[in-house]
Amino acid sequence: MAIFKGAAVAIVTPMYQDGSVNYDEFRKLIEFQIENGTDAIVVCGTTGEASTLSHEEHLDVIKYCAEVVNKRIPVIAGTGSNSTETAIYLSTEAEKYGVDGLLLVTPYYNKATQNGLYAHFKAVADSVKLPIILYNVPGRTGCNLMPDTIVRLCTDVENIVGVKEASGNISQIATLAAKAQGCVDIYSGNDDQIVPIMALGGLGVISVLSNVAPRQTHDICAKYLEGDVKEACRLQLEAIDLCGSLFCEVNPIPVKKAVSMIGFEAGPLRMPLSEIEPKNEERLRASMEKYGLI
């Protein structure tokens, strides 16, 4: 059974001006998501600035999220690393906190072979009992997890169940769906490709857009799952301009600004990420206004 179907938010990690995690605001963001129909929360992913959290902070944020959500919806913890040993450590610790699944990004910088990726993911999966979603985002990692490897992992390893596909390559995703024959839970990793990927058999999205438009993102998926493809497509196209603006600079720079625009104290970014450029902030604000969020 899938960990979730529909829209999971890749939630931001709000911070105080000194760069420490703002847990009070994080609670508000979690409640906002649940109240507005988000189907699951992915904590400490790319959007949550996991790469600049210390291991202690990383695990504290996961634990806090699991406690606040308290099983109302699934919580999926980002515990991937370019070090297999580190990924095992983060994953085994996160499992203790009662999360419902793990999201494991392909090792970045190392540029492992497909056999190396297989061995890496299998080693992490063998260390836990939780279901695992792989995360393929070659534009960030320099490493492309190929369809044959994904199918092999989901076939050979009982608790590897799916993939967040953010390659942007629809042909590659179609090939994966054809080879998988239903053994891989496929989720869109790009908000502008939710409906196209669901049309190939995908179950939903792990979403940046959901940070500011949880109800709308949920509805795109829900309408498709209900069989109202025409309405899902309309909602998808309605969101395209905002999806583009949320990636006018590298994620999560625009979305943290967007979260602040709707009234939350998302706070600053940790270096080396920098604040959004004025021209891009104007573009983002215009898209948010057009979409009816501000």
User: Is 71 designated active site?
Assistant: no
Q: Which of 5, 63, 164, 257 is labelled catalytic? A: 164
Q: Which of 118, 135, 187, 291 is labelled catalytic? A: 135
User: Is 164 designated active site?
Assistant: yes
Residue with tokens 């309408």: 223
Task: From 253, 254, 252, select the one nearest 46 (Cα to Cα).
Answer: 252
* Long-range contacts, stretch 26-35, CB < 8 angstroms, 24+ apart: 26/61, 26/64, 26/65, 26/68, 27/68, 28/264, 29/211, 29/259, 29/264, 30/65, 30/68, 30/69, 31/68, 32/214, 32/264, 33/9, 33/210, 33/214, 34/69, 34/72, 34/73
Q: Which residues are catalytic?
A: 135, 164
